[in-house]
Structure 1
């Protein structure tokens, strides 16, 4: 870009800014919306720190791209944009290119381009550098590039700035590093923070952090009403009714859109059911590979798909101006998060339809996710103690064999401790800094209470009799809230409420189709020798399990819900069988997107007594067995011993033996009372808790002699799969030619 030292002010600034805007949008008559030029002027002429809170689709990216063009024309260095999602980065780079702005990114998916990007930065050929907040703590980037960028950048942009705040609905610990970055900037470097989803509490928190170093912050806030959105709520308790409504009415919705689900398995199940019904749809979740995400996003933009059935992995950053609808099967945990997701729709259309279909399981899911991101003091203390005693950096894998914390929770905890200065990410892993760390119980309690209030507000949104849009605006502390005149409360139901019986039968048939593959473990966890367990490397073929089956995931919309009711218990420890405390802990959550399946068994405190397997459950298991494409039919059945549900597990195994005319050989023995340990531990500790706790008794060993084919190993719940793996290895050592694991439910 041309470089000139002359500062831009007044009319000259307005003219140049308008010209840059028109290049950006490709339209000669384009002009600024209310507040856009004011933000640009404050950044370019005033070199100020600015927080922009404006509705989705208002044009926040236009502010920083136009400001970038003007700052570069003055001879300033590149703009650095801290952006939370790869999808958002892709859209931002495409928008920049349309305006003639040279934008590049450094992220986890383009490591092969880092050297070229670094060289282009050094040559002054980059106008915009996009980085993730996590990149700010990459040791190499932090030490080699960040100091120079902090001194030379012409503008720092913090996109989706609500993530800075503890109160933000999409809290990411790495965003809190930005406060430290701000203190290293020259006073003349302008800073822009943008968000569409900040209530007054979040705004106050973000302003405080943007003002690091004693700087004044200009807040520009506009009305958040979305005039194109037509909101509605359709309460349908049964999952087959919600899916049936989609099957019957998805084709009536305008254009293409997004169907949000709360869990990965729900998104995948709904996508399969809609494809079976003839719709062009696809699932988009945290399990979707990056290259596949790009392909699916483009397919939706080009209207080659009717919908993406997505978790929150498709959230901030996805930009399709003519998106016609957003539906939710299950409600997000706060009106703020809901507003952010529905804001994907109707950016450049006169009307877009937004429908929420809440489910009775929503509160269970909220409860788990609300706790998953909170650090626990005893776990933090254990991590700090392990790092201090090691005297050298430890990788996350090495820490797992020392502290009993699950991988995703451990990674989040390390980020929190890092941001708080107690640990530091270095070459080779993590190291303690020696800085004292105190668990801020008061702060986390405040956040927990705030989340409880937000969950109640979401219930109030569903059940309230006032304008839907005005309610969301008030939740975001928008004092311009007025009745929209379009939602179901203002204008009556705009959506069909009848569901054809044929659609219900189709949905029920899909949801009641049991069967989930259980992949066998292939590798023992690292560092088991530290826990006194003589295992390492790959699991030997001679003792490995074969592929198994479960009736359903506990997060499934169909059988999953029925199994949750059957398996509900008093505590996480009662969620499994003999390995209850070691093999049925809460599943991992993805702290960036919060989309993995929660521990729904443990989310209700009712504790029904153990009872035999009901006939309909036995029929479902028989259906699973009938559809199982095993290489060789099982020749006998063995059960995992259960302390919590002995009747359920043994009656299931015995009943299958009777129905399948297979000998039921009994259960393994428990040693010293069975598995021990606290629930929720990581893979290494959960294996250690199980190791040595089972044995093949003499009677069972005698019955195994001469069994001509595979043994079906029956349990109630599989999570880590170490109970099944260890029990299967013992059976293989005792002579079973193969072991086929079968469980009622699988976590995750």
Structure 2
């Protein structure tokens, strides 16, 4: 400390040094701290406190941890350990650090930077910030071999997007809950910073509890003066797409169009691109390299918009992003504020428009229930691991518990955080620690999520200021009318829908046909379930590529199909509109495409056979008979349903789904005789809904063993 520092006092001297670092980082001699920034830096550097910063997007949370890191490094502290949730966010953070003269390295599943290089940088004291993903905390090799060394060197721990810690947050990730134990392993002298732009009072309390005692929470106003909010309620997906076709180019600059599902993003991007708009789809299924390229094209204003799911969210930084449009509302004000916060970070004006859909609540309900642990399945997992007495891979576990891969992996993470299982070399093993299902906690979470969904509906329907409402729901005590939104200043966006564009959008949405890819491989571990198959499915027993009219999540036929397959919906004959769509689908299938040719290269079907439906026999029978009549094909009847079917829990994994239908069907004498008349010729196999594809695979295998040629599955809907 200099004599001037001593004379001015430690706080004044620290502020001077911090300001010099800030100005060096941003490259401006007139830069100064926003209210709250220095207070956070002071708490970390001078007092070693655990600090939570809740500030709006674009406020400068990264400046806090970069400045604090360099100040602590100057005092002889080790590098900052920064837990960051997304690869896109990591890329931006590393790039921002380099521009600011901060030496940063990242450790994640996608980069090529090996631990040896990180270790060398640490040994040479050449790393100021080390970024890791929360998922690395579950990796046994990293946790046992490398994490102790990192923690021993760490001078500051930063948890970015800290709402992910919380069960109550909109982006709950079990791996984040490990951070509480990570904090416990740190020396008490190491300061901890948690940052987020999106946390209501419940989430703040939850984060504070996990950070420990004596937490300093610095919370600022969340209102964004640059954003102009609006809501436009239109009847259906066709009207929403027609509005975009007409008005997308009129939106300022370049931006993001958010959708709730992958299929909606892909369909919207395709329709807009075919109309000449410069757009790209961006979803969780997009290849990593394609994602990076799409992000850069948007940053360079080479595309008008990315049509994205929530995969494009936290940390994506384009200061001049001009607009955000939502086709369908996110399930909570927290999630909505997070996404609209991408816009207007470095500009005076940006437009934010929500086009809600009647299907929103169904989609919210699906995702909410999919992420909640199930007591029975959790107990099945712990029991299977205990009985095995050795580590089991996820693949091996799939043959023992009826869970899909993604659900199983999520549940294992929850159980690991709760201490009931642990990931080790070779897979997962039980720890012997008893696990109790906290039904009360999950009931509270479910109740809170329903309340947040209701809040989004209120946001859509409110006659008051939209910014005031959204920030007040986030427990911002400074919430006030913005004077800019459609309710404060009047509707700022056009609300007309051109009839010709509506017809064009409707025609595009009515474009029918989703490929049903044939299964080529039997699931692993089937012998444990009493089914003696393994390896590849022989060519003589495989299905040909089939077709479904649409996915249940599609924008076009998805709506009427969701109604048709809704829980409690009556079993009826196929509705005329969907029947006509199936005829159009068959006509297009008969013409073929460049990749497979007519009828997927199998040849025109010689007959129609149906799958016996346990829940919708009338629907399937009417569809099969109608197709046979229009196509002038003989309807040979249905397979018979046996008493050996073993229906499992809905949504189970491949092994259990196959076991459940393996002996469920039989070729009765009447159908066997009819098949003899079309021996060696293609057969169309009709069903109502395709999900795992094992029903069609098993039924098709039976038909092929009875002498049928290629079996082409046709279904009204494909799940997902």
Same fold (TM over 0.5): yes
* Structure-1 separation of matches of 2:651 and 2:401: 12
Matched, 1:197 2:158: no
Greater Cα offset, 627-636 or 158-167 = 627-636
Which of 486, 489, 498 in structure 1 is aligned with 2:487? 489
Query: What's the secondary structure of 1:183's corresponding residue?
Result: helix
Query: What's the secondary structure of 2:185's corresponding residue?
Result: coil
Cα pair 1:674 1:693 within 8 Å, conserved: yes
Q: Which residue of 2 aligns with 1:635?
A: 606
Give the Å deviation of 1:23: 2.7
* Structure-1 separation of matches of 2:566 and 2:450: 23
* Structure-2 separation of matches of 1:619 and 1:709: 26
* Structure-1 separation of matches of 2:113 and 2:543: 38
Which of 534, 554, 557 in structure 2 is aligned with 1:556? 554
Q: Which residue of 2 aligns with 1:668?
A: 639
Q: Which residue of 1 aligns with 2:596?
A: none
Give the Å deviation of 1:538: 1.1
Give the Å deviation of 1:706: 4.7
Which of 385, 389, 392 in structure 2 is aligned with 1:391? 389
1:281-312 residue CA offsets vs partner (Å, 9 max, x unmatched): 01111101111111110010000110011111
* Structure-2 separation of matches of 1:484 and 1:687: 56
Greater Cα offset, 373-382 or 646-655 = 646-655
* Structure-1 separation of matches of 2:623 and 2:115: 56
Q: Which residue of 2 aligns with 1:611?
A: 572
Query: What's the secondary structure of 1:259's corresponding residue?
Result: strand
Q: Which residues in structure 2 correspond to 1:552-591 (within 5 Å)? A: 552-570=550-568
Q: Which residue of 1 aligns with 2:472?
A: 474
Q: Which residue of 2 aligns with 1:726?
A: 698
Q: Which residue of 2 aligns with 1:117?
A: 118
1:249-292 residue CA offsets vs partner (Å, 9 max, x unmatched): 11110000011100110111010111111100011111011111
* Structure-2 separation of matches of 1:237 and 1:171: 32
* Structure-2 separation of matches of 1:740 and 1:490: 57
Greater Cα offset, 620-629 or 463-472 = 620-629
Q: Which residues in structure 2 correspond to 1:381-530 (within 5 Å)? A: 381-530=379-528
Give the Å deviation of 1:669: 1.4
Distance 1:111 1:732, change over 3 A: farther
Give the Å deviation of 1:344: 0.5
Q: Which residue of 2 aligns with 1:602?
A: none
Which of 615, 622, 627 in structure 2 is aligned with 1:644? 615
* Structure-2 separation of matches of 1:238 and 1:566: 17
* Structure-1 separation of matches of 2:512 and 2:441: 44
Greater Cα offset, 342-351 or 405-414 = 405-414
Query: What's the secondary structure of 1:744's corresponding residue?
Result: strand
* Structure-1 separation of matches of 2:50 and 2:10: 17
Cα pair 2:344 2:350 within 8 Å, conserved: yes
1:405-447 residue CA offsets vs partner (Å, 9 max, x unmatched): 2221111111111000011111111111111111111111111
* Structure-2 separation of matches of 1:316 and 1:218: 24
Q: Which residue of 2 aligns with 1:154?
A: 155
Q: Which residue of 1 aligns with 2:334?
A: 336
Q: Which residue of 1 aligns with 2:670?
A: 699
RMSD of aligned Cα (Å): 1.5
Q: Which runs of 5+ in 2 are unaligned?
A: 593-599
1:62-93 residue CA offsets vs partner (Å, 9 max, x unmatched): 11111111122222111110011111101100
1:460-510 residue CA offsets vs partner (Å, 9 max, x unmatched): 111111110010111111111110000011011011011111111111011
Give the Å deviation of 1:17: 1.9
Query: What's the secondary structure of 1:539's corresponding residue?
Result: coil
Q: Which residue of 1 aligns with 2:220?
A: 222
Q: Which residue of 2 aligns with 1:232?
A: 230
Q: Which runs of 4+ in 1 moved over 6 A?
A: none
* Structure-1 separation of matches of 2:588 and 2:148: 60
Q: Which residues in structure 2 correspond to 1:1-80 (within 5 Å)? A: 9-80=10-81
Cα pair 1:24 1:95 within 8 Å, conserved: no
1:133-166 residue CA offsets vs partner (Å, 9 max, x unmatched): 1111110111011112112111100001111111
Give the Å deviation of 1:619: 1.7
1:11-31 residue CA offsets vs partner (Å, 9 max, x unmatched): 442233222222322323222
Give the Å deviation of 1:745: 0.3
Give the Å deviation of 1:646: 1.6
1:709-734 residue CA offsets vs partner (Å, 9 max, x unmatched): 31111111000000001011111111
Give the Å deviation of 1:674: 4.4
Q: Which residue of 1 aligns with 2:585?
A: 624
Give the Å deviation of 1:616: 2.3
Q: Which residues in structure 2 correspond to 1:265-280 (within 5 Å)? A: 265-280=263-278
Give the Å deviation of 1:696: 1.6
Matched, 1:689 2:650: no
Query: What's the secondary structure of 1:350's corresponding residue?
Result: coil
Give the Å deviation of 1:110: 2.1
Query: What's the secondary structure of 2:378's corresponding residue?
Result: helix
Give the Å deviation of 1:614: 2.9
Q: Which residues in structure 2 correspond to 1:272-311 (within 5 Å)? A: 272-311=270-309
1:219-256 residue CA offsets vs partner (Å, 9 max, x unmatched): 11111100000001111121101111111111110000
* Structure-2 separation of matches of 1:476 and 1:242: 28
Greater Cα offset, 199-208 or 20-29 = 20-29
Cα pair 2:108 2:136 within 8 Å, conserved: yes
Greater Cα offset, 31-40 or 239-248 = 31-40
Cα pair 1:23 1:98 within 8 Å, conserved: no
Q: Which residue of 1 aligns with 2:685?
A: 713
Cα pair 2:80 2:130 within 8 Å, conserved: yes
Q: Which residues in structure 2 correspond to 1:119-198 (within 5 Å)? A: 119-198=120-199
Query: What's the secondary structure of 2:307's corresponding residue?
Result: strand
Give the Å deviation of 1:678: 2.9
Query: What's the secondary structure of 1:374's corresponding residue?
Result: coil
* Structure-1 separation of matches of 2:286 and 2:122: 32
Cα pair 1:239 1:558 within 8 Å, conserved: yes
Greater Cα offset, 10-19 or 538-547 = 10-19
Matched, 1:677 2:655: no
* Structure-2 separation of matches of 1:400 and 1:673: 22
Query: What's the secondary structure of 1:353's corresponding residue?
Result: strand
Distance 1:110 1:659, change over 3 A: same
